[in-house]
Amino acid sequence: MLNSRIKYIYFSLICLFFFIGCSLLNSKVHISDIKTTTGINKDFSPTEITSIFPYRSTKIYCWFKWQDSEVGTPITARWTYETDKIEVLNHTFKIPRRNGMGSIALSLPKSNPLPSGTYQVSLLHEKQILRRTSFQIK
C-alpha cells in the first residue's frame, strides 16, 4: 500500500514537472535580462545599472532584453510600491521584433520626486511573471 502511494507521488511529480516545462518552452516571449538604471542611451543600453537610487529621484528606468520572441506579443510592466503594497503603474506594450532590448520608465507628473521606499517592477505575459527586479529609493 505504501509502495503504491510513493509510486503515485513520484508519477504525479514527474507529470507536474513535464507540464511546467512544456508551458515554459511554449512561451511566446523570453525575457533574458532585466535591470533598473538611471538612464538609457541612444542604443537602448542602460547608462548606470543600480538597485539603489538617491532620495528625490524623479525617474527610474527598467531595461530589459528579450530573445526568440513572437513579434506583437503583449507584455505588461507592473510597477509596485512594495513599502505599502500599492500597484502604481501597469503599462502594456508589444514586442516589436524577435530579438532586442528596450526600456520603460516610472515617473510622477511635473517631475515630482518618487517617494522613498522599496519598489518592484515585473514583466508579465498573460498574467505570468516572466522577470522581475526590485529597487530602493533612499
- pLDDT score, position 27: 73
Task: Tell me if 70 is assigned to some domain.
Answer: yes
| Mean pLDDT value of segment 90-118 | 95
As beta bridge partners, residue 52 has 136
pTM above 0.75, yes or no: yes
Condensed to tens digits (0 to 9), the pLDDT of residues 12-45 reads 434 334 444 434 444 789 999 999 999 999 988 9
pLDDT over 70 (residue 8): no
Q: What share of the chain in percent tops pLDDT 90?
A: 78
Mean pLDDT of the chain: 86
| Side-chain-facing half-sphere of 117: CA atoms under 13 Å | 14
Task: Tell me if 1 is assigned to some domain.
Answer: no
d(CA 66, CA 33): 7
Of 63, 31, 33, 35, whose CA–CA distance to 51 is shortest? 35
Task: Tell me if 10 is assigned to some domain.
Answer: no
- Using CA of residue 101, residue 67, residue 69, residue 120, what is the dihedral sign? negative
Task: Tell me if 20 is assigned to some domain.
Answer: no
CATH number at residue 106: 2.60.40.1930
Task: Tell me if 87 is assigned to some domain.
Answer: yes
Task: Tell me if 5 is assigned to some domain.
Answer: no
pLDDT band for position 60 (50/70/90)?
Answer: very high
Split into its structural domains, the chain has a count of 1
Provide the residue range defining the domain that includes 73.
28-137
pLDDT over 50 (residue 53): yes
- Are 77 and 104 contacting, i.e. CB atoms less than 8 angstroms apart? yes
